[in-house]
Amino acid sequence: MRNRVIICEASEIIANGLAEIIDSMAQCDVVARIETPEHLGEKITNSDANLVIIDPTLLGFHYKDFLLQLGKEHPNLIVIAIVTSCLDHAVLSPYNGFIEINDTRSKIISKINEFVQTEATKKDDVELSNREIDVLVAVAKGMMNKEIADLMNISIHTVISHRKNITRKTGIKSVSGLTVYALLNNLIDENDLIH
């Protein structure tokens, strides 16, 4: 199946350059280029896109809410950040991956192929045990390893082992990324989160 890509980038130079690289790939077609994320959900639906490359700075401070909503509406969507300026890595954690402005053509192609392949693999073998789901939910709610161990009456080492398995199976390393994963998979509700 060919990947249908939407590029959401305000800079015409960056968007056109990225589109040219992606269109040269065997399994990808750029189906839309937009400058703002306002109608992104609609564009995804209308074009049946499965991959979005977006500049995180376009989303502002509410990027987590925006990405969460996008994930709920389009659960199989791969969202890649195009990093054009210095960003905190915490901002990039909810994305499936990122491309940097100074990446070479071959590196961009390699990264996109890797992101697509990783997501396809994840969909095939993300099968968390009931205990791993319990630990994931606790982590997403902001609990520390010791608190989780006390709550579940298990050792801290067991909690750490479960967390390693969760990271290995989901490919997500950060707490914020795991929180988004838990929300997208309806393991927790937004009201469960500490604000």
Write the pLDDT tens digit of every residue in 46-59: 898 899 999 998 88
DSSP state of 142: T
DSSP state of 2: P
Helix H, strand E, coil C: the string for 78-94 is EEEEEECCCCCHHHHCC
Instruction: Give per-10-residue mean pLDDT for the chain (195 aa).
Output: 89 94 89 91 88 89 80 85 82 85 92 80 68 91 92 91 86 84 84 66
What is residue 188's predicted lDDT score, i.e. its pLDDT? 86
Q: 65 with 41: CB under 8 angstroms?
A: no
Q: 110 with 118: CB under 8 angstroms?
A: no
CA distances to 27, 53, 58, 112, 127 from 37, in Å: 24, 11, 7, 21, 32
**3-class SS at 53?**
strand
What is residue 77's predicted lDDT score, i.e. its pLDDT? 87
Closest listed residue to residue 81, CA positions, set 49, 115, 107:
115
Q: 33 with 52: CB under 8 angstroms?
A: no
What is residue 60's predicted lDDT score, i.e. its pLDDT? 79
Write the pLDDT tens digit of every residue in 137-148: 999 888 999 999
What is residue 173's predicted lDDT score, i.e. its pLDDT? 81
Closest listed residue to residue 70, CA positions, set 39, 97, 113:
39
Cβ-Cβ contacts under 8 Å for 20 (sequence gap 6 or more): none
What is residue 123's predicted lDDT score, i.e. its pLDDT? 57
What is residue 32's predicted lDDT score, i.e. its pLDDT? 93
Cβ-Cβ contacts under 8 Å for 142 (sequence gap 6 or more): 175, 193, 194
Cβ-Cβ contacts under 8 Å for 55 (sequence gap 6 or more): 8, 9, 10, 11, 14, 81, 82, 84
Long-range CB contact pairs, 171-176, < 8 A, 24+? 171/118, 171/122, 172/93, 173/93, 174/90, 174/93, 175/139, 175/140, 175/142, 176/64, 176/90, 176/93, 176/94
Give the number of C-alpha atoms closer than 13 A to the C-alpha of residue 167, restricted to the C-beta side.
Answer: 11
Report all structural domains of the chain as residue ranges with CATH numbers, in order of start.
Answer: 3-125 (3.40.50.2300), 130-192 (1.10.10.10)
